[in-house]
Amino acid sequence: MTNRHAANTPEPEAEKPDVAEASAAQSGAAAVHEATVHEATADEDLTLPDDYQPDGDDWYGGQPTKKPKHFWPAAKRLVGLLAPEKWLFAFVVLLVVGSVVLTVIAPKILGQAMDVIFNGVLGAQLPAGMTLDQVIAGARAQGDDQFADMLEGTNVVPGEGIDFGLLSRLILFVLALYLVASFLMWLQGFILNRLVMRVVYGLREKIEEKINRLPLSYFDSRQRGDVLSRVTNDVDNIQQALQQAFSQLVQSLLMVIGIAAMMFVVSWQLALIALIALPLSGIIAGVVGVRAQKLFVAQWKHTGDLNGHIEESFTGHELVRVFNRDAQMAEEFDRRNDGLFQAAYRAQALSGTIMPAMQFVQYLSYVLIAVVGALRVTAGQMTLGDVTAFIQYSREFSQPIGEMAGMANMLQSGVASAERTFELLDAEEQDPDTEESHLPERTDGHVSFENVSFSYDPETPLIENLSFQVTPGHTVAIVGPTGAGKTTLVNLIMRFYELNGARILLDGVDITRLSRSELRGHVGMVLQDAWLFDGTIRENIRYGRLDATDEEIVAAAQATMVDRFVRQLPDGYDTVIEENASALSAGERQLLTIARAFIANPSLLILDEATSSVDTRTELLVQEAMQALRADRTSFVIAHRLSTIRDADTILMMENGHIVEQGTHEDLLERRGAYHALHAAQFAGETESAVASEPAEVTDSAEISDPAEVPE
Ligand SMILES: Nc1ncnc2c1ncn2[C@@H]1O[C@H](COP(=O)(O)OP(=O)(O)OP(=O)(O)O)[C@@H](O)[C@H]1O
Ligand SMILES: [Mg+2]
C-alpha cells in the first residue's frame, strides 16, 4: 500500500525542488510573496478539472489514481512481460481455480453436517419402528400440517439419533477441503511471488541498460524526479500490480462466479433476495461515493498545497530569515493547514457514512434471507443445512466484490506505471558505440574541430561551423560571456551530445569511431557543478582511478590543496560527505573534484569553471599544481576570472557559439577587441596600469592584499 501511495504523490510537489535551486535572492523573495498572495477559499474545495472522472471505488480516502493514457496496449504489453513464464503462470491460475472450487464447496458440505444433527435430534423424538411416511400421515391426521410439511423436506429416520459417524466424516471432510484449499493458495502465492520477482528483476535490468544507452539530451528535456520515479516507484507499482492484482482478480472473479452459482444451486429464490442487495449498494456507491470522491480530490489538493508550502519554507529557510518573512510564513501555514482541516473533515465525514450504509444493506438482506429461509424450512422446501450454507455464501459473496473493486484500482495504477516505464524503454537511444578505431594507451592530445555545428534545439542554432586545432600539450583557455557555449564545446569533446555536422578528431581519429568509454577514459573532466557522492573523502578522490593507493590519494590531495583542509577535519580522509548537508564549503568541494581528476591522470584534461568558488590565493596555488599536471597533456580550461588563464598557450574567445578571437593573452589585448573589452570590464576597479599592459600586477596585488591567507 505504501508504494502505491508514494507513486501517486500529487504532481505539484514532485516539481518543487527547483525552488531550492533558484538561488537569486530575488526569486526567493518572489516565491515568498507568491505564497502569501495565494488564498484558499472555501469555493475552491470542490472545483475539479473538467476531464475528471471518478474511479467509483476508492471511497475511503485513497489518492486519485493515475490513469493510463491507453489502457489496453499497455495492459497487453504488461501481460506480455509474463510471456517467458507463461506455463508457470498457467499453473498458478490452475492452483487458484482448485483452491476456489474447494472453498466454494465447503459450506455446502457443512450444511449437510448440520442436517445430520437436525435429523438426528428430530428422529430421536419420533417413535422407532415407523417409517417417515407413517409419521407424516400421523401428523396430518392430528391436524399438525405444518410439522408434516417440514418433515416432508427431510430424510429423518424415526427413532434414530444423531449419526455421529457420518457427522464426524463430514466435518473431517470439510476440514480437509479447507486445508487443501489453503495449501493450494499458499503454493500459488509462493510460485507467483518468485515468478513476479523474476519478471520485475528482468525489467529492472532492462531499464538499467536502457538508461546507459539514453543520450544526455533525454535527461535534459525531462524532470529529474519524473525519470527517477519511472525507475523506482513505477517499477514497484508494476510489481505490486502483477503480484496482487492479477492473482487476486482471478481469485475474486472465480469466487464471485462460484458462490453465485452455488447460491442458485441451493435455492434460486434466496439467491434472488441476496442479489437485491447489489443494486442497492450500487446506488449508495454511486450517489455518496462520487460525491465523497470529489471531496477527496479537494483534500488531496489541500494536502499538496500544504506540503508545497512546508517544503518551500524548509528549502528556502535561509531566505525566509533573510527577508524576515517568518511571521508571514507561519500565517500562510495556518491558513493552508486550516484549509486542509476543513477539506479533510468534510471528506471523511461523508465517506464515513458509506461503510455503515453498505453494511446496513448487507444486514437487511441477511435478515431477509434468514426469515425467508426459516419459512421455507418449516414448509419442507429446504433443509436447515441448506439455509445455513446459504447464509454463509451470502456473507462470503460481498467480500470478493469489494476486493475486485480495489484490485481494479491497483491494476489501473499498475498499468499506468507500466505505460510510463514502457515509454522510457521505447525512448530513442544514442547511436550505438562502434569500435572501428582505437587510441594508443597514451594519446598526444591533439584535438581538432572541423566545421563543427551543434545545437540543443534545432530551432535555435548555437555552434555553427566551428574549426580550430589544438597543439598537443597546450593549455587552451575558453573564455566568453555566460551562455556563449563554452560548456557545450567541451561537452562535445566528451560526446555527451552528438554533432549535427562535421567531426571532432582526437589524435587524428574521429571520436565517433571510438567507443564512448574508450574516449572518456582518455579525458578527465572537472564539471561546473561539483558532484560528490555519499561516501568518504578518500572514496570520492579514488573515484577518478579505482586502483589508486592511499599514498597516491594523499599526494593528489596535497597537489590540489585538498590535504590542507582535510587534515583539519576530525575524521580526515574518512570524513563522510553527505549529499546536501555537507560540512565542506563550495570551494572545498571544487578542490575535491580537481583532486579526483588529478588522480585519474588523463591524456586530456577539461576544467570547466573548476576553481570559480575558490579564493584567488588558493586558486593560484592550485594553478601551480595544475601546471605540473598540465605539463604533458592538452587541457581545456574554462574560466570567467581572466587572471587565472593569462598563461594559457591559446585563448579562445567565444560569443554566441562562435570563436570570435583566438591567440595569447598579450595578442588579444593588443588587438583591442572582444577579449580586451571583457578584460577591461573585469579589471575596471583596478588601477589604470593593471588594465593596460601589465596584468601581472593584478595577481600580485591580490596576493598582497590578503597576506593572512598565505599558508606555510
Ligand atoms: N542541455 C541543454 N539543453 C538546451 N539548451 C542548453 C542546454 N545546455 C545549455 N543550453 C543553452 O545553450 C547555450 C550555451 O550554454 P553553455 O552551457 O554552453 O554556456 P556557457 O558558455 O558554458 O555559459 P556559463 O559561462 O554560464 O557556464 C545557452 O544559451 C544555454 O541556454
Ligand atoms: Mg558553462
8 A C-beta contact, residue 383 and residue 154: yes
Report the atom number in ligand 1 closest to the C-alpha of 484: 21
8 A C-beta contact, residue 425 and residue 256: no
Asked whether residue 292 falls in the same domain as residue 383, the answer is yes
Encode pLDDT of 469-484 as tens digits: 898 888 899 999 999 9
Mutate to test the pocket of ligand 1, among 455, 463, 478, 486 (most ligand atoms within 8 A of CB): 486
Q: Is the pTM of this model over 0.85?
A: no
Q: What are phi and psi of 218, to 5 degrees?
A: -60, -45
Residue of minimum CA distance from atom 29 in ligand 1: 483
Question: What's the confidence (pLDDT) of residue 334?
Answer: 95
| Ranges 338-342, 566-570, 609-613: which has the least confidence | 609-613
8 A C-beta contact, residue 524 and residue 544: yes
Residue 490 CB less than 6 A away from ligand 1: no
Residue of minimum CA distance from atom 18 in ligand 1: 485
Compute the half-sphere exposure of residue 170: CA atoms within 13 Å on the CB side of its CA: 20
Neighbour-count burial for 596-626, b at 16+ CB within 10 Å, e otherwise:
bbbbbbbbbbbbbbbbbebebbbbbbbbebb
Task: Assess whether pLDDT exceeds 70 at residue 34.
Answer: no
Residue of minimum CA distance from atom 26 in ligand 1: 482
Expressed in angstroms, the distance from the first to the final Cα of the chain is 60
Confidence band (pLDDT; 50, 70, 90) for 584? Answer: confident
Asked whether residue 306 falls in the same domain as residue 185, the answer is no
- Domain end point (choices 191, 206, 221): 206
Best CA proximity match to 635, nearest among 506, 445, 486? 445
Residue 483 Cα to ligand 1 midpoint, Å, equals 5
DSSP state of 10: -
**Mean pLDDT value of segment 450-465:** 88
Q: What residue has cell string 569553471?
A: 609
Encode pLDDT of 660-693 as tens digits: 999 999 999 999 999 999 888 887 755 444 444 4
Asked whether residue 124 falls in the same domain as residue 71, the answer is no
Asked whether residue 201 falls in the same domain as residue 280, the answer is no
Confidence band (pLDDT; 50, 70, 90) for 167? Answer: very high
Residue of minimum CA distance from atom 22 in ligand 1: 487
Residue 639 CB less than 6 A away from ligand 1: no
Q: Which helix (H) or strand (E) holds 650?
A: strand 650-655
Neighbour count for residue 14 (Cβ, 10 Å): 15
**Mean pLDDT value of segment 250-260:** 90
339 Cβ contact list (under 8 Å, min separation 6): 40, 45, 302, 305, 306
Residue 489 Cα to ligand 2 midpoint, Å, equals 9
Task: Assess whether pLDDT exceeds 90 at residue 411.
Answer: no
In whole angstroms, give the CA distance from residue 19 to residue 481. Answer: 25
How far is Cα of residue 178 from the mean position of the Cα atoms in its chain? 40
Which grid cell sits at 461? Answer: 542554432
**Mean pLDDT value of segment 128-135:** 87
Within a domain: 571: no
- At 79 the three-state DSSP class reads helix
Angle between helices 164-213 and 247-266 (to 10 degrees): 150
Residue of minimum CA distance from atom 13 in ligand 1: 483
In whole angstroms, give the CA distance from residue 191 to residue 246. Answer: 13
Strand bridging mode 634-638 / 475-479: parallel
Report the atom number in ligand 1 closest to the C-alpha of 221: 3
- At 380 the three-state DSSP class reads coil
Within a domain: 415: yes
Confidence band (pLDDT; 50, 70, 90) for 699? Answer: very low
Angle at 27 between CA 26 and CA 28, to 5 degrees: 90
610 Cβ contact list (under 8 Å, min separation 6): 526, 590, 593, 594, 637
Within a domain: 338: yes
Higher per-residue pLDDT: 467 or 401: 467
**Mean pLDDT value of segment 366-378:** 91
Question: What's the confidence (pLDDT) of residue 401?
Answer: 80
Confidence band (pLDDT; 50, 70, 90) for 31? Answer: very low
Q: Which protein residues have their CB within 5 A of the ion that is ligand 2?
A: 487
Asked whether residue 386 falls in the same domain as residue 309, the answer is yes
Within a domain: 114: yes
8 A C-beta contact, residue 36 and residue 328: yes
Residue 460 CB less than 6 A away from ligand 1: no
In whole angstroms, give the CA distance from residue 684 to residue 687. Answer: 8
Alpha helices, DSSP H only, in 8-85?
Answer: 11-14, 18-21, 25-37, 71-80
Report the atom number in ligand 1 closest to the C-alpha of 489: 18
Strand bridging mode 509-510 / 501-506: antiparallel
Question: What's the confidence (pLDDT) of residue 180?
Answer: 97
Residue 484 Cα to ligand 2 midpoint, Å, equals 8
Q: Which helix (H) or strand (E) holds 662?
A: strand 658-663
Strand ordering across the sheet containing 523-526: 523-526, 604-608, 634-638, 475-479, 650-655, 658-663
Mutate to test the pocket of ligand 1, among 487, 526, 658 (most ligand atoms within 8 A of CB): 487
Residue 479 CB less than 6 A away from ligand 1: no
Asked whether residue 47 falls in the same domain as residue 94, the answer is no
- Domain end point (choices 206, 226, 245): 206
Asked whether residue 187 falls in the same domain as residue 293, the answer is no
In whole angstroms, give the CA distance from residue 247 to residue 249. Answer: 5
Residue 232 Cα to ligand 1 midpoint, Å, equals 30
Asked whether residue 295 falls in the same domain as residue 401, the answer is yes
Residue 610 Cα to ligand 2 midpoint, Å, equals 10
Asked whether residue 403 falls in the same domain as residue 270, the answer is yes
Neighbour count for residue 483 (Cβ, 10 Å): 13
Query: Please, is 675 exposed, middle or buried when counting C-beta atoms within 10 Å of its C-beta (0-12, 13-18, 19+)?
Result: buried
Residue 484 CB less than 6 A away from ligand 1: yes
Strand bridging mode 658-663 / 650-655: antiparallel
Domain that holds residue 295: 1-11+28-80+260-426
Residue 636 CB less than 6 A away from ligand 1: no
Encode pLDDT of 646-662 as tens digits: 888 999 999 988 889 99
Of 1-5, 24-28, 512-516, where does the model show the most confidence?
512-516
Within a domain: 557: no
Task: Assess whether pLDDT exceeds 60 at residue 75.
Answer: yes
**Mean pLDDT value of segment 84-95:** 91
Q: Which residues share a beta bridge with 523?
A: 604
Question: What's the confidence (pLDDT) of residue 601?
Answer: 83
Indicate which ligand has the atom closest to the C-alpha of 483.
1
- Domain end point (choices 375, 392, 426): 426
Q: DSSP secondary structure string, 308-361?
A: HHHHHHHHTHHHHHHTT-HHHHHHHHHHHHHHHHHHHHHHHHHHHHHHHHHHHH
Residue 483 CB less than 6 A away from ligand 1: yes
Can you point out the beta strands (E) in 411-506? 447-454, 463-470, 475-479, 501-506
Q: CATH number, domain at 349?
A: 1.20.1560.10
**Mean pLDDT value of segment 247-262:** 89
Question: What's the confidence (pLDDT) of residue 690?
Answer: 41
Question: What's the confidence (pLDDT) of residue 266?
Answer: 92
Amino acid at 488: T
Residue of minimum CA distance from atom 3 in ligand 1: 456
Within a domain: 166: yes
Mean pLDDT of the chain: 81
Residue of minimum CA distance from atom 17 in ligand 1: 487
Within a domain: 443: no
Question: What's the confidence (pLDDT) of residue 575?
Answer: 87
Within a domain: 186: yes
Higher per-residue pLDDT: 216 or 698: 216
Q: What residue has cell string 471511497?
A: 59
When divided into structural domains, the chain yields a total of: 2
Asked whether residue 102 falls in the same domain as residue 41, the answer is no
Asked whether residue 283 falls in the same domain as residue 379, the answer is yes
Strand bridging mode 658-663 / 535-536: unpaired
Amino acid at 38: H
Q: What residue has cell string 573523502?
A: 537
Percentage of residues in the chain having pLDDT higher than 70: 86
Residue of minimum CA distance from atom 9 in ligand 1: 488
Asked whether residue 280 falls in the same domain as residue 316, the answer is yes
